[in-house]
Amino acid sequence: MDRRTLLGTAAGLGIAGLAGCATLADASVSPPNVPEDDLKSKGWTQVDSTQDTILEESYGPVTLTAKAYTVIYSNTALRERVKEDSLGKVDSRLALFSATRIDFSPDLGDLPGGVGRKEVMDKIEENARDRFRSRLKDAGLEEVTRTDTGSFDVNTGESASLTEYEATYDVPTFDFAIDANNTVSIEGQSLTVNGDLAVWHHGDFSIVAGGAYLGENFTKSTTKHPSDAITVSVDVDLGFEPETYRENVHGFIKQTS
């Protein structure tokens, strides 16, 4: 699949991607609580985790430190099914979910006079958006665009800010052999990729959670004539289910704490 794999490396949308955070130093912080049973039952597997210090900034006499712990999941069941269905021609991570917990020291509520809290959260959110978009592009996606912003109710009781993205993923043209001398070519296609990124503050920590997933199915039909007497028809339907992926990602975001 070359560089056009949707999410070609384990950290392809890691803390600097879905989590949207740049590394400053090693750190120790609590991991986010994610719906492990729900993820596992839907075919998602953890593929990476990272810990980083993402912010150190002075507010009067106080230096604020923000430390992040990110976990990254891939829909391995989807990948394995598509690889099998395409006879090994399409082998890529086609859906990812990531969640980050950010701990602050001191707590944002303990800043002098309460100053800086909104500024800090604005920085966390803007950085998350920038890194998310950059990593989508680094993963080989094209035409990455922020399409909408809004709110999203989560189970911790807050209304998270939600940013929606759209990009394109190029499924390349690939060939199948039908006999020793003939192949049938399946023409590639650009598919829409959707991305959702949520940010919110709960208690004394913040959460950044989001995912990327294919927004449409891949279907193709083609006919080959190996000889005057033989006609071979090939129908390809990779069975992508965008609404299912969207429900999965939104459900995982909602349950993260």
With contact defined as beta carbons under 8 Å apart, do 29 and 116 qualify?
no
Q: Does the CA dihedral 41-43-49-54 come out positive or negative?
A: negative
Note whether residue 184 is domain-resident. no
Those residues with Cβ within 8 angstroms of residue 118's Cβ, 6 or more apart along the chain or in another chain: none
Please state whether the predicted TM-score (pTM) of the whole model is above 0.75: yes
Query: Helices marked H in the chain — which ranges?
Result: 36-41, 76-85, 117-138, 242-255
DSSP SS3 for 38: helix
Rg, the chain, Cα only: 21
Q: Which amino acid makes up residue 110?
A: D
Q: How many Å apart are CA 131 and CA 198, to the nearest integer?
A: 13
Number of domains within the chain = 1
Note whether residue 33 is domain-resident. yes
Predicted confidence pLDDT, tens digits, the chain (257 residues): 333 344 433 233 332 334 444 344 444 789 999 999 999 999 999 998 989 888 888 877 888 899 999 899 999 999 899 888 887 878 878 888 999 999 999 888 777 766 677 888 898 898 788 877 876 777 677 898 999 999 999 999 999 999 999 999 888 888 878 777 888 888 889 999 999 999 999 998 999 999 999 999 999 888 888 788 888 888 888 899 999 999 999 999 999 99
Note whether residue 236 is domain-resident. no
The boundaries of the domain holding residue 54 are 2-168+191-216+242-255
Note whether residue 80 is domain-resident. yes
CATH number, domain containing residue 104: 3.40.1000
CA 190 to chain centre: 18
Note whether residue 237 is domain-resident. no
Structure tokens given for 52: 């980083």
The helices-and-strands tally (H runs, E runs) of the chain is: 4, 11
Q: How many Å apart are CA 167 and CA 149, to the nearest integer?
A: 16
Note whether residue 101 is domain-resident. yes
Q: How many Å apart are CA 98 and CA 21, to the nearest integer?
A: 12
DSSP label at residue 216: S
DSSP SS3 for 52: strand
With contact defined as beta carbons under 8 Å apart, do 189 and 172 qualify?
no
Note whether residue 18 is domain-resident. yes
